[in-house]
Amino acid sequence: MAPSPTALPTPPDPDQGDRGPFATAVLLSETSSLVPGSVAFIAVHFTIAPHWHTYWNGRSDTGFPFKAEWTLPPGFELAGPLQWPAPKRHISPGDILDHVYEESVAILVPIRVPESARAGDTVTIAADLTWLVCKSACVFEGDGVSLTLPIAAPGSAPAASGDTGTFAATRSRIPVPIEQAGALVSAKVIGSHLLIEAPGAERIEFYPLAKSVEMPSLLRDGAADAPRLKVALGEVADSEGKPRRVQGVVMIKMPGQKPGQMPGKAPSSTPGSQGSEPAAPSTAVLQSLIRYISVDLPMPGGNAPSK
């Protein structure tokens, strides 16, 4: 049985040099100003101490994601759910499997700017945050954060902020629906198993969402150094008889490619080189291609995703 999220390790020992805070949070903006009538993106950015981690909003044996209480200017509102980048598998002694963030992470927050916002004004977006950060022990931490930005003229194109690189890096880890993945990956439920196939992949991992069907052997089944992953699934229906779904994120790691080389394509030969000596091996660093795909599948006898 997976450990209860409330059954946390003992607090850190200050005498061993474990003195917090072990994670710090700030709010970042993708743009230097806000445009009336638009949706802007800010981010909750965590910097995490070495060897410590915070938690994804999906399933983990212990721990839970950060929580926020937002204070927005009049007329402003959240424009949709927070956008969480894919996590990492983290295995602790006792066969505890968590899905975590290490070093740093940014969670994207869409903010709807009202048309009534007046150009030239400044507004402040604030949040009271609480989170759990763990190593061999866990600590509850929290902080109040805020961000003040000017309102730009309606219809204008605001300049990028100095944090656009953080937003771009985060979006590269936000899963895309499997329908947009083309032939890269397939996922289907066969009997009591989830089968994921990605031709040519050197590793596949699966991170279940919190409301997904149970996966009793996820520690063993949830990752494979192969182009095929088979994950055992639990009961089709929950305790109320409602059908469960298979929901989560697939990580696909393709073999290394030279910079600029298309996946699955060998480097082209130099014109006129037929019959000549083979070219010397390239010293270019091979770059593994990693993609994150979201999956939402019915169990046998289940229903279609709600719209």
Task: Walk along the chain (307 residues) and give the pLDDT tens digit of each residue.
Answer: 333 333 334 444 444 456 789 999 999 999 999 999 999 999 999 999 999 999 999 999 999 999 999 999 999 999 999 999 999 999 999 999 999 999 999 999 999 999 999 999 999 999 999 999 999 899 999 999 999 999 999 999 999 999 999 999 999 999 999 999 988 999 999 989 999 999 999 999 999 999 999 999 999 999 999 999 999 999 877 777 777 899 999 999 999 755 444 333 344 433 333 333 334 444 445 556 899 999 999 987 654 444 4
> Containing domain of residue 195, as a range?
176-263+283-298
Q: Is 275 among the domain residues?
A: no
Q: Are residues 163 and 194 in the same domain?
A: no
Q: Is 277 among the domain residues?
A: no
Q: Are 127 and 145 in contact (CB under 8 A)?
A: yes
* Token pair for 58: 């999906």
Residues 6+ apart with CB under 8 A from 169: 106
Q: Are residues 30 and 103 in the same domain?
A: yes
Q: Are residues 116 and 24 in the same domain?
A: yes
Residues 6+ apart with CB under 8 A from 94: 3
- Residue whose pair of structure tokens reads 């969402």 in the numeric block: 209
Q: Are residues 144 and 242 in the same domain?
A: no
Give residue 267's Cα distance to chain centre.
32
Residue closest to 215 by CA, chosen among 202, 201, 196: 196
Q: Is 123 among the domain residues?
A: yes
Q: Is 214 among the domain residues?
A: yes
Q: Are residues 209 and 287 in the same domain?
A: yes
Instruction: Find the radius of gyration of the CA atoms of the chain.
Output: 23
User: For residue 73, what is the domain's CATH number?
Assistant: 2.60.40.1250
Q: Are residues 151 and 87 in the same domain?
A: yes
Burial code (b: 16+ CB inside 10 Å, e: under 16) for 31-64 equals bebbbbebebbbbbbbebbeebbbbbbbbbbbbb
Structurally, how many domains does the chain consist of? 2
Q: Is 289 among the domain residues?
A: yes
Q: Are residues 22 and 104 in the same domain?
A: yes
Q: Cα separation of 273 and 255, whole Å?
A: 27
Q: Are residues 154 and 205 in the same domain?
A: no
Would you call 261 exposed, middle or buried from its count of C-beta atoms within 10 A (0-12, 13-18, 19+)? middle
Q: Are residues 107 and 144 in the same domain?
A: yes
User: For residue 199, what is the domain's CATH number?
Assistant: 2.60.40
Q: Are 139 and 132 in contact (CB under 8 A)?
A: yes
